[in-house]
């Protein structure tokens, strides 16, 4: 039991951080809706695994990565905005998820597997899952550290970065694939419905702190970690769905950041000489 | 002017660019050759195709017909190589106050895009500060970019373009928010210095600000066509 709690906290720190950082970048690049299609691709992959009796993580990752990889090229080929392609895929994956779940053998709708898929569970946290998280964490940290100068330029203004010779398409695709990996992994804890809470609530909270871009990503990483580990602890202690607890923890942090931001502004105004 | 494959900074041959879904081209059948080291002023009314022409040259818009070469590189095939030698100041560039980048960071991005993995050395940061100083913006270096005025943001972007030490500088209405004194300084001091170093400048304008400039080529556009090209005998001391 104690090991499960420790594993949950470690997973929360890693997955929450990943989603927070990725969410801050996606928000800045106006790629917020990509999360919908990637999360639901993972959901469709997991549902297919239920039908086939295959490993859920592997198929979820496969579906999410395929989705993240094809999003950019599909938008370029169809010459329509990325957001629109994302929502088309989102609808398609939802349709597939329902078909797969209803085609699964036995009373699958009542099983714990479907519950884990939809609203997450601490029971989904295993040593292999932590290893996947750790690997993704190292890859994302290395990518951000090594290519920060170019990523920064992209985050400031995509068109200007492109005009100056940054290979915008490649960087965007890499960010989409990284987002796909982070979302798929977080999905195990939060479930398909609530993965967005880890992606965008920490990003929104970090924006309240008014820092520079590097600190916004770092703060989003930290707040995502805190939300996820707090939520998992709550889920563990009160036997509630992990995804719901993580969302509530993230919302509490957002409210705290917002109050801090307002207090800071009003103190600065009061401190000004009249 | 030297003869050879790189005599021209920009070469366009029968170039037409269409916006997606449009039947009428934004620029049509453009034939232009601009010598290395010249200052070309592109003028014309709104909707004449001036910005489309600049963005087509930079490969930001893909032409449906024609051939383009920039500094000897074919566009779009070798566009990344060409862009590494170019700098661009877009029209009406304005960021909101919450923008999480300082002015100094914005200028540094001009160098990061050309450096390996985007990493900058101490020498690069000195270049960034020199570029800010050149435009009188060093004191604003650590201010958030979005909290600067429109004119100050335009100066920062010009500093970003200059720090790249470009071979081709593309400026789209660069003086729209800049005060008269700074305009005069840029035209009389900064531009001649760039031209002496062999940089080619393509400057888009549609109003009287062009009167301050002494271009070697004037390209007059209307309705997507080049209406007139005037070559002027302007001496640039090398």
Question: What confidence tens digit (pLDDT) does each residue in B33-50 have?
Answer: 999 999 999 999 888 999
CB contact under 8 A, A159 and B112: no
Q: Note the pLDDT of residue B238.
A: 41
Q: Note the pLDDT of residue A12.
A: 85
Over residues B24-33, the pLDDT tens digits come to 888 999 999 9
Contacts of A230 (CB under 8 A, 6+ apart): A12, A245, A246, A249, A252, A253
CA gap A28, A35 in Å, rounded: 14
Over residues A158-195, the pLDDT tens digits come to 999 999 999 988 888 888 888 888 888 887 777 776 78
pLDDT band at residue B54 under the 50/70/90 scheme:
very high
CB contact under 8 A, A216 and B100: yes
CB contact under 8 A, B83 and A212: no
CB contact under 8 A, A165 and B83: yes
Could you tell me the CA-to-CA distances from B85 to A261, B32, B163, B169, B170 in Å, in that order?
Answer: 43, 20, 12, 9, 11
Sign of CA dihedral B59, B60, B62, B63: negative
Q: Note the pLDDT of residue A11.
A: 85
CB contact under 8 A, A150 and B60: no
User: Does the beta carbon of B58 lie under 8 angstroms from any beta carbon of chain A?
Assistant: yes
pLDDT band at residue A112 under the 50/70/90 scheme:
low
Q: Which two tokens stand for residue B178?
A: 């800049």
CA gap A152, A220 in Å, rounded: 16
Cβ atoms of A260 and A208 within 8 Å: the answer is yes
**What does the buried/exposed string (b/e) look like for B223-233 if buried means 16 or more CB atoms within 10 Å of the residue's CB?**
ebbbeeeeeee
CB contact under 8 A, B118 and A150: yes
Strand bridging mode B168-172 / B86-89: parallel
Q: Which residues of A touch B (CB under 8 A)?
A: 79, 146-153, 156-157, 159-167, 207, 210-213, 215-216
User: Does the beta carbon of B20 lie under 8 angstroms from any beta carbon of chain A?
Assistant: yes
DSSP one-letter string for chain B = ---STTSEEEEEEEEEE--TT-SS-SEEEEEEEEETT-EEEEE-STTSSHHHHHHHHTTSS--SEEEEEETTEEETTTHHHHHHTEEEE-TT----TT---BHHHHHHHHHHTTSGGG---HHHHHHHHHHHHHTT-GGGTTSBGGGS-HHHHHHHHHHHHHHT--SEEEEESTTTTS-HHHHHHIIIIIHHHHHHTT-EEEEEE-SGGGGG---SEEEEEETTEEEEEEE-------
Q: Which two tokens stand for residue B11?
A: 């070469």
CA gap B217, B34 in Å, rounded: 8
Cβ atoms of B31 and B13 within 8 Å: the answer is yes
The shortest CB-CB distance from B113 to any of A166, A207, A215 is to A166
Residues forming beta bridges with residue B200, ordered by sequence position: B168
Strand bridging mode B8-17 / B65-70: antiparallel
CB contact under 8 A, A149 and B20: no
Task: Please state the pTM of the whole predicted model.
Answer: 0.84
DSSP one-letter string for A253-267 = HHHHHHHHHHHHHHH
pLDDT at residue A129 is higher than 80 = yes
Q: Which two tokens stand for residue A270?
A: 């009061």
The residue of chain B nearest to residue A150, with distances taken between CA atoms, is B118
HSE toward the beta carbon, residue A84, CA cutoff 13 A = 8
CB contact under 8 A, B60 and A148: no
The residue of chain A nearest to residue B116, with distances taken between CA atoms, is A147
**Shortest Cα distance from B185 to chain A (angstroms)?**
25
Instruction: Determine which of A28, A147, A149 to mutate to test the interface with B (most B C-beta atoms within 10 Å).
Output: A149
Could you tell me the CA-to-CA distances from A263 to A204, A206, A235 in Å, in that order?
Answer: 17, 15, 31
The residue of chain A nearest to residue B19, with distances taken between CA atoms, is A79
CA gap B127, A58 in Å, rounded: 49
3-state secondary structure of A7: helix
CA gap B194, B169 in Å, rounded: 9
CB contact under 8 A, B100 and A148: no
Instruction: Determine which of B115, B118, B154 to mutate to test the interface with A (most A C-beta atoms within 10 Å).
Output: B118
Q: Which two tokens stand for residue B196?
A: 């002496």
Mean pLDDT within A95-123: 73
Cβ atoms of B202 and B42 within 8 Å: the answer is yes
Q: Note the pLDDT of residue A124.
A: 66
Cβ atoms of A43 and A60 within 8 Å: the answer is yes
CA gap A220, A214 in Å, rounded: 10
Which residues of A fall within a CB distance of 8 Å from B105? 152, 156, 212-213
**Shortest Cα distance from A147 to chain B (angstroms)?**
5
CATH 1.10.3470.10 fits A2-270, yes or no: yes
CB contact under 8 A, B88 and A163: yes
What interface predicted TM-score (ipTM) does this complex get? 0.89
Task: Report domain extents, chain A.
Answer: 2-270
CA gap A53, A153 in Å, rounded: 45
The shortest CB-CB distance from A153 to any of B60, B86, B112 is to B112
**Shortest Cα distance from A210 to chain B (angstroms)?**
7
CB contact under 8 A, A150 and B83: no
Which of A28-37, A133-142, B29-38, B154-163 has the weakest average pLDDT?
Answer: A28-37
């Amino acid at each position: 039991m104690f090991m499960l709690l420790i594993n949950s906290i470690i997973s929360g720190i890693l997955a929450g951080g990943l989603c927070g950082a990725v969410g801050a970048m996606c928000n800045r690049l106006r790629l917020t809706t990509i999360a919908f299609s990637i999360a639901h691709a993972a959901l469709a992959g997991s549902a297919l695994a239920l039908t086939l009796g295959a490993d859920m993580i592997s198929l979820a990752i496969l579906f999410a990565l395929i989705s993240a990889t094809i999003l950019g090229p599909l938008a370029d080929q169809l010459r329509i905005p990325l957001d629109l392609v994302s929502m088309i895929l989102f609808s398609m994956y939802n349709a597939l998820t329902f078909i797969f779940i209803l085609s699964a053998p036995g009373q699958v709708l009542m099983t714990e597997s479907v519950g884990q898929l939809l609203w997450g569970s601490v029971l989904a946290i295993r040593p292999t899952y932590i290893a996947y998280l750790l690997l993704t964490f190292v890859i994302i940290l290395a990518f951000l550290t090594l290519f920060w100068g170019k990523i920064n330029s992209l985050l400031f203004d995509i068109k200007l970065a492109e005009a100056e010779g940054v290979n915008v398409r490649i960087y965007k695709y890499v960010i989409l694939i990284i987002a796909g990996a982070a979302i798929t992994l977080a999905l195990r804890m939060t479930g398909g419905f609530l993965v967005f809470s880890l992606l965008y609530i920490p990003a929104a909270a970090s924006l309240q702190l008014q820092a520079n871009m590097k600190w916004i990503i770092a703060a989003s990483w930290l707040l995502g970690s805190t939300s996820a580990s707090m939520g998992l602890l709550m889920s563990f202690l009160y036997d509630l769905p992990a995804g719901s607890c993580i969302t509530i923890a993230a919302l509490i942090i957002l409210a705290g950041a917002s109050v801090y931001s307002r207090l800071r502004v009003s103190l600065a105004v009061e401190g000004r000489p009249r | 002017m030297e003869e050879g494959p790189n005599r021209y900074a920009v070469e366009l041959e029968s170039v037409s660019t269409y916006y997606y879904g449009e039947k009428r081209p934004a620029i049509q059948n453009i034939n232009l050759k601009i010598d290395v080291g010249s200052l070309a002023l592109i003028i014309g009314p709104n909707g004449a195709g001036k910005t489309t022409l600049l963005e087509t040259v930079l490969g930001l818009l893909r032409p449906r017909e024609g051939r383009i070469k920039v500094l000897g590189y074919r566009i779009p095939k070798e566009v990344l190589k060409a862009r590494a030698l170019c700098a661009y100041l877009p029209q009406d560039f304005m960021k909101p106050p919450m923008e999480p980048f300082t002015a100094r960071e914005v200028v540094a991005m001009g160098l990061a895009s050309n450096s390996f993995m985007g990493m900058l050395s101490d020498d690069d940061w000195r270049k960034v500060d020199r570029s800010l100083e050149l435009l009188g913006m060093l004191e604003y270096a650590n201010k958030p970019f979005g909290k600067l005025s429109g004119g100050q943001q335009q100066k920062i972007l010009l500093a970003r373009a200059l720090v790249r030490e470009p071979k081709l500088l593309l400026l789209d209405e660069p003086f729209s928010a800049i005060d008269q004194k700074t305009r005069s300084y840029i035209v009389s001091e900064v531009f001649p210095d760039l031209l002496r170093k062999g940089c080619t400048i393509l400057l888009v304008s549609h109003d009287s600000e062009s009167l301050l400039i002494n271009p070697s080529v004037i390209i007059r556009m209307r309705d997507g066509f080049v209406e007139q090209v005037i070559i002027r005998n302007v001496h640039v001391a090398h």
